Amino acid sequence: MTAAEIGRGLRAGKFTSIEVTRHFLERIDHAGQLNAFITVTPERAMQDAKSADARIARGEGGPLTGVPIAHKDIFCTDGVLTSAGSRMLSNFVAPYDATVVERLAAAGMVMLGKTNMDEFAMGSSNETSWYGPVRNPWDATKVPGGSSGGSAAAVAARLAPVATGTDTGGSIRQPGALTGLTGFKPTYGRVSRYGMIAFASSLDQAGVLSQSAEDAALVLAAMAGHDPRDSTSVDVAVPDYAAGLGASMNGLRIGVIREFFGEGLEQGTGRAVRTALEGFKAMGATIVELSLPNLPLSVPTYYVVAPAECSSNLSRFDGVRFGHRCPEPRDLLDMYRRSRGEGFGAEVKRRIMTGTYVLSAGYYDAYYLKAQKVRSLINADFHKAFNEVDVLMGPTTPTPAFAIGAKVDDPITMYLNDIYTIGANLAGLPAVSVPCGLADGLPVGLQIIGPHFAEQRLLAAAHAWQQETEWHRKLPPLFA
């Protein structure tokens, strides 16, 4: 059942939140091989479920009251380990809830636990986690994508009906695509980043991994909105996303980005995406091909901007204010060196070094400033495109899920996995990935990108597609 269906069943008295919660905790127990969770919180879950049942009995339940959820381990959770997938924070019990966690709890959602992720959200395969790789429920030899791979695996295997994620360069949409889920990344500023451990502050955005667009609409409505504790959260009213799901696709102007269909796009993926575009045409949409000439520069631009911001954000993890501290330091410098040396993994160190380099006095203009200028050009390309079309569509990833171990030793190949997703982050745009087929038995995602604050339009398009197709209902055979 989707989260929406569970919510309806709870309010109709078909089952209780305690029963539903117990069901998911048992599934989590039996799926340890996926390594989807870093922490499971059964006591807190049963308590939450009990209060949700009481709230529903009083007739005060909303659409998500009593529905379980898993949170990516990047969101601070009061009294619960919040590791960001890093040894550095393997001793960090957060003293407060992130705004996202707080708002979903206020909606009555039941927290099952914290999901595995790439270390500090740096990765596309969930192999950089200190807690070990996550496996794809569709094929355990394959990656689930990253960095929100634990959340994706958990929802795909139905260990949780829905989960939170974060997307800095694709980390919700890419794992969503690779595991057959709806992965929704809102407009930058739509959802508060308060209590969400920072990777690259100008790109990070919280969102949802779900079974359907309807679920994404419900969860997004509950977590979005202005938060005075995050100065980049925008004070724009949150629409009733679920109410807008029925919008017709008739007359929708879809732009197809030419640059997304070139070299590197695997055949089966391209075929499934083109078939989906035909499907939208059949629903009355019009399709025009567009070029966004600066978009191919998004990967190199991102890999200057994101490491620059991360090198600054991660400087707080020094073994004093936060994080792992090495045993018996000789002096202060030794403590910094060894604490950070032991606490961070290879990918995080690579990013910190790259970021420090591009921000250094001698190279700032050549790299960081240049990247910011290219970022503006990419922004302008999108802006121009949205003068002509309502949404942009294309593949979410170049290929379906790849084998665990296949790209870990080749960072550039790994980085290229996000070639279609990063543009939306650089421009702060909302984007969603929806399942649109299978290639060699593995899920393929269709990406839909919209102008700022067009969440409603994206959700309606995703929902319309899911009314016409069954791809989002397909379960990994081993977990059906």
Interface positions, 390-449, toward ligand GLN (CB under 6 A): 418
Q: Is 281 a catalytic residue?
A: no
Closer residue to ligand GLN (CB): 124 or 311: 124
CA torsion sign for 246, 252, 258, 261 is positive
Minimal distance, residue 65 CB to ligand GLN, in Å? 30
With 0-12 / 13-18 / 19 or more C-beta atoms within 10 angstroms meaning exposed / middle / buried, residue 469 is middle
Asked if 186 touches ligand GLN (CB under 6 A), the answer is no
Which H or E element spans position 446? strand 442-449
For residue 12, give Cα distances in angstroms to 15, 107, 110, 192: 8, 18, 18, 32
> Crossing angle for the helix pair 213-223 and 3-11, nearest 10 degrees?
80
Stretch that binds ligand GLN, among 47-55, 97-105, 165-173, 210-218 (CB under 6 A): 165-173
Taking the complex as a whole, the smallest distance from the CB of residue 174 to ligand GLN amounts, in Å, to 7
Q: Which of 112, 113, 143 is nearest to 129 (CA)?
A: 143
Cβ count near 279 (within 10 Å) = 17
Q: Which of residues 68, 144, 169, 400 is near ligand GLN by CB under 6 A?
A: 169
Can residue 179 be called a binding residue for ligand GLN (CB under 6 A)?
A: no
Distance CA 455, CA 244 (A): 10
Q: Select the residue interacting with ligand GLN from 2, 99, 136, 168 (CB under 6 A).
A: 168
Binding to ligand GLN (CB under 6 A) within 306-325 occurs at 306
Residue closest to 254 by CA, chosen among 450, 62, 65, 456? 450
* Closest C-alpha to 158, from 134, 127, 142, 179: 179
Measured between alpha carbons, how far is 461 from 377 in angstroms, rounded to an integer? 27
Of the candidate residues 61, 66, 170, 207, the single one contacting ligand GLN (CB under 6 A): 170
Residue 171 catalytic? Answer: yes
- At closest approach, how far in Å is the CB of 115 from ligand GLN? 14
104 touches ligand GLN by CB under 6 A = no
Asked about 72 being catalytic, the answer comes back as yes
The residue (of 151 and 269) whose beta carbon lies closer to ligand GLN is 151
Mask of contacts with ligand GLN, 105-144, x by CB under 6 A?
Answer: ----------------xxxx--------------------
Q: How far is the CB of 124 from ligand GLN (least distance, A)?
A: 4
What tokens were used for 186? 């809102």
Q: Which residue among 83, 86, 124, 171 is the active-site one?
A: 171
Q: Which of the residues are catalytic?
A: 72, 147, 171
Applying CB under 6 A, the residues found at the interface with ligand GLN are 121-124, 147, 167-171, 199, 306, 418
